[in-house]
Amino acid sequence: MTFNAYGVWAIYRFEMARALRTLWQSVVTPVITTALYFVVFGGAIGSRMQEVDGVPYGAFIVPGLIMLSLFTQSIFNASFGIYFPKFTGTIYEILSAPVSSLEIVLAYVGAAATKSAVLGLIILATAAFFVPLQILHPFWMMAFLILISVTFSLFGFIIGVWANGFEQLQMIPMLVVTPLTFLGGAFYSIDMLPDGWRTVTLFNPVVYLISGFRWAFYGQGDVAIGISVAATLGFFAVCLAIVMWMFKTGYRLKN
């Protein structure tokens, strides 16, 4: 079977058009939220905490803020994108169309990752108005941005297939991902924690993603960059394997 580029493009374009129709929710709201974080954390806390590992606190929290938005938006975009066809029943039209499971995943996950990556860059540009930014490794910054966008879009796709209602659709992002992000060093270095709590924190997978992304900015992180890359690729591989299993078995797609 040949690759159906037109089918992939049609789904991708439809998902991207949905983001343009909800521009306020998709772009403006996260940017305003990020600005408020800078006012609260950068202004109130930053005035009492001048530097973290030699980096001004306002600049230190930029990678964490971008990751927080990237995680939530990637999951939301991908999960809603695949759940809505399930909810309306149009998923059966997609499954019966001449597009393979790989092409469906490429279209939905590609659109969600594109929106999340663009939003991450917009937040980065917004941050530049508040703090002086330094990106020591721009290539690795973009690589982490794209890889994490794709990975969490896959994760969101899994949630969208698994969910049986809008409550389940929001449960994991709100009750699991967001708390793990706050506890994963988004706004502080885990080296500031007591040894016992630092050991516990290392079991949080989000730590490795945020640490790797922060390393791309300032050349330092809470864990070694090699471990961060391995953890990110490992999470990507697990999510990809689960998505392919879902299509192979038809889990909550064909029944």
H-type helices in 163-183, by residue range?
166-172, 178-182
What pLDDT was estimated at residue 1? 58
pTM: 0.92
* Residue 7: CA count within 13 A, CB half-sphere: 17
Q: CA–CA separation, 33 vs 46, rounded Å?
A: 17
Encode pLDDT of 47-68 as tens digits: 666 778 788 888 888 899 899 8
Q: Is 51 helix (H, G, I), strand (E, B) or coil?
A: strand
What pLDDT was estimated at residue 4? 87
Quote the tokens at residue 40: 């609260």
- The residues, ordered by sequence, that sit 6+ positions from 38 with a Cβ below 8 Å of its Cβ are 58, 61, 65, 127, 130, 131
Please name which of 62, 66, 74 lies closest in space to residue 19, comparing C-alpha atoms. Answer: 74
Q: What is the dihedral of CA 49, 120, 21, 252, to 10 degrees?
A: -110
Does 20 score more than 90 pLDDT?
A: no
* Residue-by-residue DSSP string for 144-157: HHHHHHHHHHHHHH
Encode pLDDT of 226-242 as tens digits: 999 999 999 999 999 99
Does 35 score more than 80 pLDDT?
A: no
Encode pLDDT of 90-118 as tens digits: 888 888 888 888 899 999 999 999 999 99
